[in-house]
């Protein structure tokens, strides 16, 4: 018994040291240090700067704001190793498990947060781990839809797609029928970020998997999960996409190596006419492609399921061990306020850092006059967030590697590949004690 008590004390002490080590090293600085994954000097960065300035004005708290995009997670790991993490990180909802697994995150008592009752319940799910506790505060939400070249669709004489057959036909027409009228075979149907970096291939495929009633993992109850990635509906969705790459050849060249940064440009340059993406690029495309040349279409229900798209966004993560817990809390309460949400939405302009507001008192239609935003808002009602496993990152990456291989190598049997992926998922679930 004594040995067991001593071991327990040792483990508790080690965990305390880990949490402190992962906390912010900015305690000696007067400023609250906040990092956000965004391109420096971009339109979204400028929106964030206005948001931070308003927070400083409202609270008197001084902020050191850092915008990073390339290798964001790698740089965070370097900061953690140096015991110098920022006080707050604003990052993807899907990163919650990974950061919690490393001991970085401060648990959030939702009931103590002023204004928490104004936040949509679905948004709160993205801040909740598999143990039912909250380790973040919601900030922004988004669903996905198809941004389509309306002028091309009218040129080829087809209607907006209502099912996957019509979607495939539209992509084929965009590829074969010279929709831009330049006399060259230089257009594709789909613009797809199908690379493996940061799990993009599975990230993209997920909306079509959910639209077909498929999934990556199934909930087993009590915080446990089983693989669903080889479910017939998931297989059907991945195989349908493989057909677009390999048989119909309706995907932009080089897609299997591309991330979203490249794919945005592919769409803007008129190299492809259908982009399944979030609403954050809508204003950018309206400006760079032409507001009258694009339309937003709901992701069609698949032959075996739907409707549904990926649900995600950004959370405010409060770093454990920070010397500025009171200031962290003030920022979290500010971030969910109606005023901050409206400011972060940035109207119909480029650079929103709040895509869909998580505050129920904010009227999307009053803030944004472009009716195309409503398609994304409607889709959010049936959006599916990543499963709340202890750490979703390895699942997304393993899925991206397998799905990318099926698209890059047309000889790959999708069912066999996803069966192997299910075995890998089982092993990962066991390692995370979530099977």
Give pLDDT tens digits for 368-402: 999 999 999 999 999 999 998 999 999 999 999 99
pLDDT at 1: 41
pLDDT at position 282 over 70: yes
pLDDT at position 21 over 50: no
Q: Please, which pLDDT band fits residue 20 given cuts at 50, 70 and 90?
A: very low
Helical packing angle, 414-431 and 232-246, nearest 10°:
130
pLDDT at position 60 over 90: yes
Compare 6 and 182 and report the one with higher pLDDT. Answer: 182
Considering only CA atoms, which of 33, 48, 36, 38 is closest in space to residue 69? 38
Q: What's the average model confidence in pLDDT over 154-160?
A: 98
pTM here? 0.87
Give me the percent of the chain exceeding a pLDDT of 70.
93
For residues 203 and 138, give the distance between their C-alpha atoms in angstroms, rounded to a whole number.
Answer: 20
Considering only CA atoms, which of 26, 41, 20 is closest in space to residue 89? 26
Q: What is the mean pLDDT of the chain?
A: 92
Q: Please, which pLDDT band fits residue 30 given cuts at 50, 70 and 90?
A: confident
Q: Please, which pLDDT band fits residue 3 given cuts at 50, 70 and 90?
A: very low
pLDDT at position 22 over 60: no
pLDDT at position 6 over 90: no
Q: Please, which pLDDT band fits residue 26 given cuts at 50, 70 and 90?
A: very low
Q: Which of 27-31, 217-221, 409-413 has the lowest mean pLDDT?
A: 27-31
Quick one: which H or E segment has residue 145?
A: strand 145-149
pLDDT at 29: 67
Q: Please, which pLDDT band fits residue 8 given cuts at 50, 70 and 90?
A: very low
pLDDT at position 147 over 50: yes
For residues 377 and 357, give the distance between their C-alpha atoms in angstroms, rounded to a whole number.
Answer: 9
Q: Please, which pLDDT band fits residue 90 given cuts at 50, 70 and 90?
A: very high
pLDDT at 17: 38
pLDDT at 221: 75
Could you give the domains of the chain? 2-142+312-380 (3.40.190.10), 145-310+392-431 (3.40.190.10)
Quick one: which H or E segment has residue 17?
A: helix 2-22
pLDDT at 223: 79
Q: What's the average model confidence in pLDDT over 230-255?
A: 98
Class of residue 428 by CB neighbours under 10 A (exposed 0-12, middle 13-18, buried 19+) = buried
Compare 296 and 223 and report the one with higher pLDDT. Answer: 296
Give pLDDT tens digits for 32-48: 999 999 999 999 999 99
List phi, psi (to 5°) of 430: -65, -45
């Amino acid at each position: 018994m004594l040995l067991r008590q001593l071991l327990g004390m040792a483990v508790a002490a080690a965990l305390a040291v880990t949490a402190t080590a992962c906390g912010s090293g900015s305690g000696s600085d007067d400023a609250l240090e906040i990092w956000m994954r965004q391109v420096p000097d971009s339109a979204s960065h400028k929106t964030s700067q206005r948001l931070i300035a308003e927070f400083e004005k409202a609270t008197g708290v001084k902020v050191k704001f850092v915008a990073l995009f390339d290798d964001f997670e790698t740089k965070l790991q370097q900061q953690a190793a140096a015991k110098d993490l920022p006080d707050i990180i604003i990052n993807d909802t899907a990163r919650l498990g990974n950061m919690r697994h490393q001991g970085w995150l401060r648990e959030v008592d939702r009931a103590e947060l002023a204004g928490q009752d104004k936040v949509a319940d679905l948004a709160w799910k993205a801040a909740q781990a598999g143990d039912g506790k909250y380790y973040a505060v919601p900030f922004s939400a988004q669903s996905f839809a198809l941004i389509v070249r309306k002028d091309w669709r009218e040129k080829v004489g087809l209607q907006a797609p209502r099912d996957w057959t019509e979607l495939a036909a539209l992509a084929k027409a965009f590829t074969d029928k010279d929709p831009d009228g330049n006399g060259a075979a230089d257009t594709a149907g789909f613009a797809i970020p199908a690379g493996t970096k940061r799990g993009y291939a599975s990230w993209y495929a997920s909306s079509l998997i959910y639209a077909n009633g498929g999934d990556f993992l199934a909930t087993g109850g009590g915080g446990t999960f089983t693989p669903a990635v080889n479910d017939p509906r998931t297989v059907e969705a991945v195989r349908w996409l493989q057909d677009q790459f390999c048989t119909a050849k309706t995907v932009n060249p080089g897609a299997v190596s591309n991330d979203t940064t490249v794919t945005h440009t592919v769409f803007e340059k008129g190299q492809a006419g259908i982009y399944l993406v979030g609403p954050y690029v809508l204003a950018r495309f309206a400006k760079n492609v032409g507001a009258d040349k694009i339309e937003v279409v709901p992701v069609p229900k698949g032959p075996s399921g739907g409707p549904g798209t990926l649900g995600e966004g950004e959370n405010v993560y409060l770093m454990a061990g920070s010397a500025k817990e009171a200031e962290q809390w003030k920022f979290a309460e500010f971030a969910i306020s109606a005023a901050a949400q409206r400011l972060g939405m940035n109207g119909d302009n480029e650079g929103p850092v709040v895509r869909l507001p998580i505050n129920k008192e904010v009227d999307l239609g009053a803030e944004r006059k472009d009716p195309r935003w409503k398609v994304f808002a409607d889709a959010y009602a049936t959006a599916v967030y990543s499963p709340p496993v202890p750490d979703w990152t390895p699942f997304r990456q393993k899925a991206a590697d397998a799905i990318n291989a099926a698209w890059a190598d047309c000889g790959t049997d999708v069912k066999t590949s996803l069966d192997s992926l299910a075995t890998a998922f089982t092993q990962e679930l066991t390692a995370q004690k979530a099977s």
